[in-house]
Structure 1
Amino acid sequence: MKLILGILLAGFFSCSQPQQDGTAIKTITATEYKEQAKKEGILVDVRTTEEYAAGHLAGASNADYLDGTFAKSIKDWDKEKTYYLYCKSGNRSSKAAQLMQEAGFKNIYNIGGYQDLKSVGLPTKE
C-alpha cells in the first residue's frame, strides 16, 4: 500500500515540478483560474468538437486532443505564450499539457474540468 501511495504521490508532484529546462506544467483550480483569467493567455478546450459545441468557456478555442491532430496543430503555436487548457475532468488537458511541454512550450496551465470552471461563474457559450 505504501508503495502504491508513493508512486501516486511521485506522479502527482512530477506534473508540477520544473523540468531541466525550467518549464513546468502548472495545475490550478477553477477558482485560481478565475483570478488568472484577467491576465493575458490563450484558453484552449481540448475536448471533442461535439463537447465544445455543446458548451464551452467564452473565448476558448477548440483543439481536440482525441482526434489525433493535437500534436500536429501545436507545431504552429507560439511557444512563448501562456496557455490555459481544460477538458471534461482535467485528464485530457493534463495529457495535452504534457505534449506541449515536450514540444518546448514554457507556460502551460492545466485548469481542470469544464463543469468546475462553469460553476465558479466563468462566462460560457452554450
Structure 2
Amino acid sequence: MKYFNKLGALILFLGTLSCQAQDKGYESLTVEAFCQTIADTTVVRLDVRTAAEFAEGHIERAVNIDVLSPHFLQDALAKLPHHKLIAINCRSGKRSKKAADILIRNGFKVVELDKGFLGWVAEGKKVVK
C-alpha cells in the first residue's frame, strides 16, 4: 500500500511539473471570449497577418504588424504599449501563437485568438476593410 501512495505522489508531482513546462505564458481564446476581451477599449488589437491579408478585411481598430517580417519585434516594441493587454490574431491561429511567444518573451501581456480571423469570420463577427 505504501508503494502505491508513493507512486501516486510521484505521478502527481510529475504531472504538476509537466503542466508548468507547457505553460505558454498567454491564453488562447475562443472567438466569443476574444470578442468579450476586446470589448474593453484599453486592450490593443494586433493583427499579425501580411499587409495584403489585412487589407482584405480585419477586426475593427486592429493594428497590423506582420509577424513574418524580419522587423516584427522592432516594430512591435515601437508601436505597442507594454502596460496594456495585447489581443493577437492571424489568419488561422498559427502565426498569432508565434507572435504571442515573441511578445511574451519581451515583457508583453497577451492573449490570442485560437482559430484566427477565419474563425472570427465563420462566427459572423464584424469585419472592416
Contiguous gaps of at least 5 residues in structure 2: 1-17
For 1:33 and 1:82, the matched residues in 2 are separated by 12
Aligned match of 1:80 in 75, 83, 90? 83
More strand by share: 1
> Displacement of 1:121 after TM fit?
3.1
Deviations 1:57-112 (A, max 9, x none): 1111100011211111122222111100000111101000100011111x200113
Q: Which residue of 1 aligns with 2:38?
A: 37
Q: Is the 8 A contact 1:34 1:120 kept in 2?
A: no
CA gap of 1:58–1:70, structure 2 versus 1, over 3 A, is same
> Displacement of 1:52 after TM fit?
0.5
Aligned pairs for 1:8-23 (under 5 A) are 14-16=22-24
For 1:123 and 1:15, the matched residues in 2 are separated by 31
Off by >3 Å, runs of 4+ in structure 1? none
Q: Which amino acid aligns with 2:59?
A: L
User: Which TM-score applies when normalising by structure 2?
Assistant: 0.75
> Displacement of 1:15 after TM fit?
4.4
Q: Is the 8 A contact 1:57 1:118 kept in 2?
A: no
More helix by share: 2
Q: How many residues align?
A: 108
Q: Which residue of 2 aligns with 1:116?
A: 119
For 1:118 and 1:103, the matched residues in 2 are separated by 30
RMSD between superposed Cα atoms in Å: 1.8
For 2:67 and 2:48, the matched residues in 1 are separated by 5
